[in-house]
């Protein structure tokens, strides 16, 4: 929530209190009764608002956390696209060498486990 939205929400609560006081006065309450009734109504509104906030905190549905999830998903997608483009820019030999280094070639894991010192960079006996 931005600062402006917080200020507007505070102003709305303040105006709600004044409107409640006037409504209770028009409704026939006299003396201190409109003020007490308006205060009680505002207390219920503030407690409900606080309860909804605590619910969002406990359920992990806070604005910051949602923004962070969206940012992370967008970052991961952009990174995946960039890595894919960089991989496709490599020559086929470089692609095979890179795949062999990270163990992504089919059937390469068994060979790598059996003889770890094989490949173009391996020392010759």
Residues 72-82 pLDDT 10s: 999 998 899 89
77 and 40 in a common domain: no
Task: For residue 119, tell me if it sits in a domain.
Answer: no
Cα distance from N-terminal residue to C-terminal residue, the chain: 68
Provide the residue range defining the domain that includes 8.
1-60
Task: For residue 24, tell me if it sits in a domain.
Answer: yes
Note whether 43 and 16 are within 8 A (CB).
Answer: no
Residues 10-26 pLDDT 10s: 888 888 878 878 887 88
54 and 75 in a common domain: no
26 and 36 in a common domain: yes
89 and 38 in a common domain: no
**0.75 surpassed by pTM:** no
| HSE (side-chain half, CA atoms, 13 Å) at 44 | 7
Count how many domains the chain has: 2
21 and 56 in a common domain: yes
């Amino acid at each position: 929530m931005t600062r402006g939205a917080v200020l507007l929400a505070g102003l709305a609560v303040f105006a709600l209190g004044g409107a409640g006081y006037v409504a209770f006065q028009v409704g026939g309450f006299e003396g201190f009764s409109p003020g007490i009734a308006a205060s009680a109504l505002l207390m219920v509104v503030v407690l409900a608002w606080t309860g909804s906030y605590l619910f969002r905190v406990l359920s992990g549905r806070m604005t910051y956390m949602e923004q962070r999830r969206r940012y992370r998903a967008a970052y991961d997608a952009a990174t995946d696209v960039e890595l894919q483009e960089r991989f496709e820019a490599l020559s086929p030999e470089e692609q095979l060498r890179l795949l062999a280094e990270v163990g992504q070639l089919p059937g390469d894991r068994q060979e790598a486990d059996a003889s770890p010192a094989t490949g173009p960079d391996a020392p010759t006996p």
